[in-house]
Each structure stands twice: as structure tokens, then as C-alpha cells.
Amino acid sequence: MASSKPPQMHFFLVPFMCPGHIIPMADIAIVLAQHGVLVTLVTTPLNAIRIKPAIDSAVESKLLIRLVQLKLSEPTGLPEGCESVESIPSRSLIRHFLAVVSKLQQPMEQLFQQQKPVPNCILADKHIVWIKDIATKFQVPWLMFDGTGCFASVCNSNVLQSKVHETVPLPFQPFVVPNMPHHIEFTREQLPGNLNPICQDIEDLHESVAAAEEEAYGVVVNSFEDLELEYVKEYQKTKGGRVWCIGPVSLSNKALAHRGNKAVVDENECIRWLNSWPQKSVVYVCLGSVSRLTLQQLTELAFGLEESECPFVWAMREDKTGEVGKWMSEDGFKERTKGRGFIICGWAPQLVILSHPSIGVFLTHCGWNSTMEGICAGVPMITWPMFSDQFYNEKLIVQILNIGESVGSKVAVPMGMQDRFGVLVRRKSIQNAIVKVLLENGAEDRKVRAERLAIKANKSKEEGGSSCLNIKNLIQHITELSLGQYQT
């Protein structure tokens, strides 16, 4: 007798409202749909704009993805169009922003209840702490999306549990993270918000995220086993084996130029400029969508690029005040670097740029998405961590994978506190890092290691690769859970 066909699995996805969270979640939706899962992805209208082209392309390819938009309750008390973390104008509004987002809980419950077929699980960002209540109410498992890698998660957990950072008397005194496969050191000033004393103003928000994490059924990670296998195993120990590394998820999205916001520069113009340079000669600079440099720190970066004498593509945040453009014009920076500098003020087609043969190094803030995208492109990195998990990621890039060089950033600068710190990285450090990665002895070995990791990243997504097997195992696990073969 033929076995019955397994039921259609339906995953309900809820990303956090921040580019570095919603974009990989859209990629995950595509990955799941490519493996036969029906996916409902829920966000707000302005956040939907940045992922709609990729989702529409997937739907045209007959993938089963529903993109549903829920509006924030009016009035929000926020500036017009503030639906994402990077658009919050000041740190004082973070708490209010999260309170506004939490009002989506009731309409989200109603939406979940209306779904046909009934979703088998909720996959949601760990920062949507109230999602656990919806999962509990409808008796479905909550899979937590952890927007960083396993190495960072293990680092954070080991510091938190051991409280080793509390034993050092001075802020800049290094301490060793206990119970790690490698010798890893940090200072208190480099730790993310949940461990950093300077972030006490939102300490309760970090605590609520940590409490919610404990209730998650399992964890989905945008990483691959060959990248950080020892730490995948360590992370699995803490989560009862329910950690599924299914990345790099960006490899699921073939429409590279349509990933994220609409680029402010013409893709073909950018490619033409890149085509004019030799292979592995151009510096690509992007410090993320949330990081904000003071004008003084930005000018140090500009001079570092100029004095390196290397061609560069610099993707910077939109210059809403006009002060950056004014400085560049008055100082003569644009004129002096004309021809060898390509500046993008706003969203850049990052995957298109990184995949171009002329890119020789990626100067990055070490956000996990950018880290993974640099690895997938096989490009060495210059690391300039700013806050959150970024100092953790720098250790992975520079010390463990040995594919990067640090500019020497020593202090985590929480979002909205940039003016307190002034200039932390000097032009000479930036220039030296560029020259070292592109031109000095050892540069070729670093390039070879980066290229080998890119090969491993792509193989992980192929049939029989670790990430391909993990996504199948995840779907199978939820299928059997839905049939009553596992207990939550």
C-alpha cells in the first residue's frame, strides 16, 4: 500500500523591522518555499517595499509565498515613515518604537487565526518578544531567527553565564572568554548592549529578549557548518540540538540587484566603473544601514581612503542634512579622488558590487549579513565593528578564519551615542589596513583562504551540502511535530 503524502507545511514568518533582519528573513522565506513549504511573511507596508521585488520574483517562479502587510496603529507618535530601526532619529525613541511595534500583537493574532491552512510553526526574530505568546495561544512551536552566527552566540552566552566581564577592574582590561575552542579576548567596552554598562538605559529591553529566547523551541541561523563547525556544536549543546544552520541565505536570491531597498545608483553604471579596474584592486566600503558616523569620524575615513591611493566604492548612509556633501565639496575630497572614487549616498547593490572581480577587499562594520556576503564573495575584509555582535564577528573574521585585518576599533558605540565618542579610528589606521590587505606580504594567502571559504559556502547550499540537509531536516522535524511525533 502506498504511503500517504505528507501534509503541506505552512511556516508563518515575522521579521524584526530593521534591514539587517528583514532582508535575510525574506531570503529564508525563499529557501523554505524552494523546498516545498507554504510561507506567509508578515511585515509593515514600508518594510514590505524593500523585499517585495525579491518576493514577487519568487512568486513568479511558482514558489508559494504570501507577503502580508500590517499597518502600525495610528497615531504612532513617531516621525512620518518611521517603521524601521534605521529610521529612528534618536536613541530616546527606541523604547517608544518597540512599544508601537508591540501593538501589532492583536492584529497578528487575528491574521494567524485566519490562515488556511493553519500554520505549523512561527519563525520569528528574537526581538519580537511577544511572538511567544501567539505561539503559546495557538499551540505551535516558535522557531527563533538568530540574526548572527553561532560563534557570536556562544561568545555571548559564555560571557553572560560566567560573568567574567564583571571580574576585570578596568573597562579596557582584556579578559578571556571561558569554555571556548579558541583563545578569545575582549574588553568590557567591546561587548554588545546586553553586557555593556553604557547601555543601561535599555537594559530591561535586553532582558526581555533574553527571557523570550529561553522559550523558543529551536533556532534558525544564517550560517553554514564548514564556517564555524566547533561553535555550531557548542551552540547546539545549549539548545538541545535544535539549531539549524541553513545559510548563507543570500545565495537563494538570484536577483542580486533587487535585494533590499531600491539602489540609489544605476547598477549598470556601477558595473561599468568597476569594469575599468584590474581584478582584486578596488576597496568596497560599507558600514551598514544603522551605523552612523560623526562628520569628524567620516572625514577620517575619507582621508584614509584617499591616502591609500587605491580605487574605492564607498556606500554611505543617505546625507539627509547635506553636511557630508558640503564638506566633500568644500574640502575638495571629491575632486581629488575623482576617477578612482565612486561614492553612493544611500542604498547600494551590495551583492552586485561584492561579486565583481575588481573588488579586492571589503571594509565592513562586521554586521552578520555583510560578513556572510563578504564570505560568499570570497573577498578579504577590513573590520571596523561598531556595536552589537560586531566585535564578536570581527574575532571570527580576523582571528579564527584569518581572512581579515582590523582597523583597531576599541569601543562599541551604541546606536544614537556617536557624538559622545568623537573620532575613534584614525586615517592612518585605515590606510595601513587597506595597504596590508591589498598589497603587502601575506595578502595573497588571505585571498586564497577567502576564496576557499566562498567555495564551501556555495557547496553547503547544493544538494547534499550541510545547509541543504539542515533545511530538509528542519522541515521534516516540523512535519513530524505537527503529526504528534515530537513534543514541544
Whether 258 is a known active-site residue: answer: no
Type of residue found at 317:
R
Catalytic residue among 21, 127, 165, 356: 21
Beta strands per DSSP E along 65-173? 65-69, 121-125, 142-146
And the C-alpha cell for 347? 542604498
DSSP string spanning 317-354? ---SSSHHHHHHHHHTHHHHTBTTEEEEES---HHHHH
> Cα(289)–Cα(148) distance, rounded to whole angstroms?
16
Phi first, then psi: give them for residue 90, nearest 5 degrees: -150, 155
Nearest to 430 by CA among 335, 298, 291, 266: 298
C-alpha cell belonging to residue 111: 491574521
Query: Closest Cα partner for 438 from 404, 411, 463?
Result: 404
Q: Distance between the two ends of the chain, CA-based, in angstroms?
A: 31
Q: Please confirm, yes or no, whether 125 is among the known catalytic residues.
A: yes
Strand, coil or helix: what is 185?
Answer: strand
260: left (phi over 0), alpha (psi -120 to 50) or beta: left
Torsion of CA 56, 57, 62, 65, to 10 degrees: -40
Q: Which amino acid belongs to residue 229?
A: L
Radius of gyration of the chain (CA): 22
d(CA 486, CA 488): 7
Return the closest-CA partner of residue 165 out of 417, 418, 412: 412
Catalytic residue among 10, 27, 125, 226: 125
- Whether residue 248 is preceded by a cis peptide bond, meaning omega within 30 degrees of 0, is yes
Residues labelled as active-site residues? 21, 125
